[in-house]
Every structure is written in structure tokens, then in C-alpha cells.
Amino acid sequence: MTQPSPAGSNRFEIQARASDSQARSGVLHLHRGDVRTPAFVPLGTKGTVKSLTPREVDQLGFEMILGNTFHLMIQPGADLVADFGGLGEFMRWPGPIITDSGGFQVFSMGHGTVADEVKGRSANGPGRQGRILGIDEEGVRFRSYVDGAEMFMGPETSMEVQAKLGSDIALVFDECTPFHVTREYTAKSTERTHRWLDRCLSWHKANGPEWQMVYGIVQGGVYEDMRRESTAAVAARNPDGIAIGGSLGENKEQMYEVVSWATDELDRVAPDSPRHLLGIGDVDDLIRGVELGIDTFDCAMPTRIGRHGTAVVADPGNRWRLDLTRATARDDSRLLAEGCGCPACSEGFTRAYMHHLIRAKEHTVMRLITLHNLYFIARLMDRLRDAVADNTLPAVAAALRSGANPWDA
């Protein structure tokens, strides 16, 4: 057995702070191991980082993954996972795990398009089945998308499920307020999120594993006063860490501003608490997020676009994306990225070959692009982390923004 993890804020050790931004680097000392920060956390939504084995995820350099409370409670169920020793044992991932609260998924059913909105997709995308049955102070009743059974999730349920999953970091149950609702709705919803925070913390104090960290979640929509108030209200409850959630705006500029309201406030009231930014992971967003003092990020982007034939490459003009489904890749003899050490590029697989595999509907290509994308993001975070420690972040961030590969920046 390893040493018992330290309590309270000792679980996060800030080792360097940048002199010209809010960036910091450090180490999270978690139950199942350490996580160097700033870090990107790949999604293992249903108990797997899609198409990869845990060993592959580890070899890419990731130290923590994210499990999804909502999906795992529906299938296979938290009790079954607990019988197998928790999510880490069940899926054979030996390192730390963060679980989301399920709030985002539950409320996405009710709000219809909040998931699309937060992820920057069109609000008029494919229709979602509204399986929400009711929302009140207790929580949310909904229908399982697997068998149609009526289910309930409230603050205590979410914490109980996360305790059974045995994650190193649990997130409190919150209402993910969408962008299209009114200021008044945002205010009411944010206040309810704070009441639910209290219920989550008291449930955890009485029943949760001592070694499990609990992060509060800042809401407040795109309103500066509410974001700042929510940040102060969450910090005042003294959770083990603080996540920033909800709709962050219509575009990147607004998102950076909304995040900065929270991090400015946190620099004042909780400078030593670890901070997680929920659901954000584009290359430029990770660079900006680090500058704003975010410690950990999770996002479906690298794995999701990989499965759909798009590689992450150092091309700011195309939002760091290379669409391999396009005919331009048909006879392209280049690697995905020059000098890339990922399992795909280091084997010499060309863009033309990957394009062919996509056309031929061969599953191997999903794995190859996923491996490359996560490798790129892992090296990006390594580079940013080193730059914070060396106090060279402005130059490194500028090089990355102008299209340098992380291993050359």
C-alpha cells in the first residue's frame, strides 16, 4: 500500500506560478496516485477510453481519466461496479479517476440542447429524446435510455453512486444551466446548485470515503456578477477543489472572459485550491485555460473527432484539425504530424493510408487517430506544464498558437 493521501489542501501542491499570467503547475496527490498539473483528462465515459486499453492510455502519458456517473449508474449499475472493487478495478485502470456528477447528462435531457451548446455545436442539431420526468428541489426523475425504467438522481444519489464507483475525485451534483435561459432562471438555478452543494458535502462527510476528494462546481451562466458570486459561494464551503461548469458563452472570447471571472475570484478567495474546467479541450482553449490558472481539463474532443476521421494537428488556421475523410488526403504521403512519436506516426502510417481505411470502414483507423490525438494533447500539456515551471510560458504559448508542434515549441 502507498502512503495514505494527505488531507485537505495538502492534496494539491502548487510548485510553480507564472510571473506574467495566472498559470501554475503542481501535483495532485490522489488516492490512487499523483497527477502532474496542468493536465488533460481523457474521457472514459462508460468505463473505457473508447477503442483503447488502459495500458495504452497510460503509455500515452495520462495520469487520470474521467468516468461518467450517469452512464455507469444506468449501465451496468453502481452496485455491480462496487462489487468488482470500484471503477478502477473493474476496468483495470490503476491510476486516479475523476467522476462527473451526472448533472450535465441529466439536465441535457431536459434542456434539450445544452450539451450541444456547451460543446459549441448547433442548437438545431439532431433532436434529443426528452426523457426527463420532473425536476424539483429533491432532484431529477428521468427514464433510462437503456430500458425505459424510471430513475432518480439528486445530490445524495449522485454522491452515493460516485462513492460506489470509488473515484479519487467526485464532482457535486449541479444543474448545468444552459445559455438560452433567462438571467432570472440562471439566478434561481445557480442558487439551487449551491443548496445541492451543501447536501452533497454533508452526505459525503457522513458517508463518503475519506480519501475521495469532492469538488464544488461554479455556475452563474454568462453573467459576471453571478459567476463571481457563485465562485465565492462555492469557495466559502471549502470543498477539496473547484470545477467551473455550465454554459460559458457563445464563442471562445466570451468563454475566456467567463472563465477569467471565476479564476480571478479564485485567485483572491481560494488561491491554493485545485481547479477543473469542465468539458473544454480544444488546443487553443487548453493554452488559454492554463494561462488563466486552470489545473485540469476534460473533453471528448480528441477521442470523438478521432473516431470520426479527424486528427489533431498543429494547424491553427483549421482549428488544429485535419479531416482525413476529405479527398485531399487520398494520395497524401505525409504522416499526420512530422516528428510525432505516437503509435500511428511512429509506424509510418500515411494520411493516404488512413483515408483509405476510413473509406473502407476499417475500425483500426479509429484507434490510430485516437492514439495520435491523445498523444498530441498529452505532449501539449507536458510542454505547457514545463513552460510554467521554467517561467517561459509566454514564448511557448506564442509558438504553439502560431502552429508549432508541442515537441518543437
Q: Which residues bind Zn ion (CB under 5 A)?
A: 336, 340, 342, 345, 372
Alpha-carbon span 90 to 344, nearest angstrom: 28
Q: Give CA–CA dist 297/315, Å, rounded.
A: 21
Query: What does the DSSP 8-state code read for residue 154?
Result: -
The answer to whether residues 382 and 351 touch, using CB atoms and an 8 Å cutoff, is no
Least spacing, CB of residue 60 vs Zn ion, in Å: 11
Nearest to 69 by CA among 95, 39, 105, 94: 105
Active site residue 198: no
CB distance 358 to 331 below 8 Å: no
Residue 14 CB, shortest distance to Zn ion, in Å, is: 32
Residue 129, helix vs strand vs coil: coil
CB distance 241 to 207 below 8 Å: no
Question: Which residue, 116 or 282, has its beta carbon nearer to Zn ion?
Answer: 282
Quote the CA–CA distance of 340 and 337 in Å, as a whole number: 5
Name which of 91 and 374 has its Cβ closer to Zn ion. 374
Which CB, 186 or 373, lies closer to Zn ion?
373
CB of 212 to Zn ion, least distance (A): 35
All three cell numbers of 136, joined, read 424539483
Which residues, at least 6 apart from 205, have a Cβ–Cβ distance to it below 8 Å?
none
CB-side neighbour CA atoms (13 Å) of 49 = 31
Decide whether 140 or 345 has the Cβ nearer to Zn ion.
345
The nearer residue to Zn ion, 278 or 377, going by C-beta atoms, is: 377
Pick 345 or 387: Cβ nearer Zn ion:
345
Least separation, in Å, of the C-beta of 354 and Zn ion?
A: 10
CB of 353 to Zn ion, least distance (A): 13
Q: Look up cell 492554463; give the residue.
A: 290
Min separation Cβ 87 and Zn ion, Å: 29
Q: Which entry of 20, 83, 100, 285 is annotated as an active-site residue?
A: 100
Name the residue with cell 477539496.
Answer: 240
Phi, psi of 86 (to 5 degrees): 100, 170
Which amino acid does the sequence have at 58? D
> Out of 284, 298, 386, 390, which one is annotated catalytic?
298
382 belongs to the catalytic site: no
For residue 366, the minimal CB distance to Zn ion (Å) is 14
Nearer residue to Zn ion within complex by CB, 312 or 384: 312
Q: Which residue, 15, 21, 12, is CA-closest to 256?
A: 21
User: Hunting for cell 511512429 — which residue is that?
Assistant: 346
Phi, psi of 243 (to 5 degrees): -105, 150
Active site residues: 100, 298
